Amino acid sequence: MRIGFGFDVHQLAEGRDFWLGGIKVPSAKGAVGHSDADVLLHAICDAILGALALGDIGKHFPDTDQSIKGIDSKILLSKVISLMDEKGYSIGNIDATLCLQQPKIMPYVPQMCEVIAEICKASTEDVSVKATTNEKMGFIGREEGVTAYAVVLLKK
């Protein structure tokens, strides 16, 4: 077994779609990034890559690569899962936490877990997504950004 930890952060801006966990969440603001800026899927990618000792998402999908500008992060996660498959591992479980002030995302968590589980070839019982606020402190509390943390357990 191998364990990996992932973290990602993105700025928020008005007039952008807000992609979290592979679904579009209704919001006045969305994340800014080279891809669709899905902070949750990026943290999961980093956790899997870390568990495999393969570097991070920026190594595999650099923001200087114009061919992936605006790419759907579900595609990035699928590519990371292919790397995991090549190494002979599968998902044991995923535990992730989103930290954002708004919007409230708990109504969307079951759908996020379904999307993540499908891409990762796992059961929804093995995917946990939680959310918290920053109690109105810092850039998250001012609704300027969003962060995600993820831990994965891989099994041979």
Of 38, 106, 51, nearest in space to 77 by CA: 38
Distances (CA, A) of 90 to 56, 85, 126: 18, 7, 11
Domain residues for the domain of 11 are 2-155
| Whole-angstrom distance, CA of residue 58 vs CA of residue 132 | 26
pTM: 0.96
pLDDT digits 0-9 by tens, 112-151: 999 999 999 999 999 999 999 999 999 999 999 999 999 9
Q: What CATH number has the domain bearing residue 16?
A: 3.30.1330.50
Q: How many domains does the chain have?
A: 1
Contact status, residue 4 vs residue 51, Cβ threshold 8 Å: yes
Strands (E), the chain: 2-14, 19-20, 23-24, 29-31, 90-99, 127-132, 145-155
pLDDT digits 0-9 by tens, 18-59: 999 999 999 999 999 999 999 999 999 999 999 999 999 999
pLDDT of residue 16: 95
